[in-house]
């Protein structure tokens, strides 16, 4: 049938969209100075294991491009929201998490007096998305692996009672 999507195609599209969301979150993290600094330190440490030493910040040139990385993250985030609204095939928790990361990584120096507000709002979004994710995981563990339909238990109990009444008068 033309225009129908198979389950495998849907899963593939979902994975691609998840990858785009991960890229958006990752690009938002790149613009945050502390994360960038940690990445630089890690790379310098790895290079030192192989005998390569660097003085200063060998990846400092990336700080010149942090606005571009952040804009890319924002573009991917907006694209993800468009797909979420249109197709409803992206995790809302992931979108909340990525929104928080992008908010935390706002790179504009003229906003420096308001940066703590962005950090707090972004951190709240990240924490809320993690809370919702963990709450969903815990709830899934409590539900048995059979399909439970609304009213199923009541109907099955009623049928069993009727059978017992007819078998044991």
Q: Pick the more confident residue, 102 or 166.
A: 102
Would 32 be classed as within a structural domain?
yes
* 2, part of any domain: no
In 3-state terms, the chain is what percent helix, strand and coil (to 5)?
80, 0, 20
Question: Between the ranges 34-38, 68-72, 100-104, 105-109, where is the mean pLDDT highest?
Answer: 100-104
Domain for residue 95, yes or no? yes
Write the burial class of residue 19 (CB in 10 Å: 0-12 exposed, 13-18 middle, 19+ buried).
exposed
The confidence score (pLDDT) of residue 67 equals: 85
In a domain, 1, yes or no: no
Residue 156 lies in a domain: yes
Distance CA 93, CA 138 (A): 15
Provide the domain count of the chain: 1
Higher-scoring residue by pLDDT: 126, 28: 126
pLDDT in tens, 7-26: 666 667 777 777 777 776 66
Write down the pTM of the prediction: 0.52
Task: Determine, yes or no, domain membership for 140.
Answer: yes
Kindly provide the b/e burial profile for residues 123-138, where b requires at least 16 CB atoms within 10 angstroms of the residue's own CB. Answer: eebbeebeeebeeeee
Residue 54 lies in a domain: yes
What was the pLDDT predicted at 92? Answer: 86
Task: Report the pLDDT value the prediction gives residue 128, as an integer from 0 to 100.
Answer: 94
Is it the case that residue 104 has pLDDT exceeding 60? yes
Task: Determine, yes or no, domain membership for 58.
Answer: yes
- The mean of the pLDDT values for the chain is 75
Q: Which domain holds residue 21?
A: 7-167
């Amino acid at each position: 049938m033309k225009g129908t999507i198979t389950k495998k195609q849907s899963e593939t599209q979902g994975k691609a969209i998840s990858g785009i969301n991960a890229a958006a979150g990752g690009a938002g993290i790149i613009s945050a100075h502390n994360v960038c600094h940690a990445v630089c330190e890690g790379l310098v440490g790895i290079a030192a294991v192989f005998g390569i030493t660097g003085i200063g910040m060998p990846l400092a040139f990336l700080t010149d491009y942090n606005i571009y990385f952040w804009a890319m993250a924002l573009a991917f985030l907006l694209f993800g929201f468009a797909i979420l609204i249109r197709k409803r095939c992206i995790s809302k928790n992931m979108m909340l998490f990525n929104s928080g990361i992008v908010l935390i990584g706002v790179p504009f120096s003229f906003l420096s007096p308001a940066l703590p507000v962005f950090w707090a709002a972004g951190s709240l979004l990240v924490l809320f998305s993690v809370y919702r994710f963990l709450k969903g995981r815990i709830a899934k563990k409590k539900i048995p692996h059979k399909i439970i339909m609304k009213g199923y238990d009541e109907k099955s109990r009623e049928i069993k009672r009727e059978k017992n009444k007819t078998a044991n008068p």
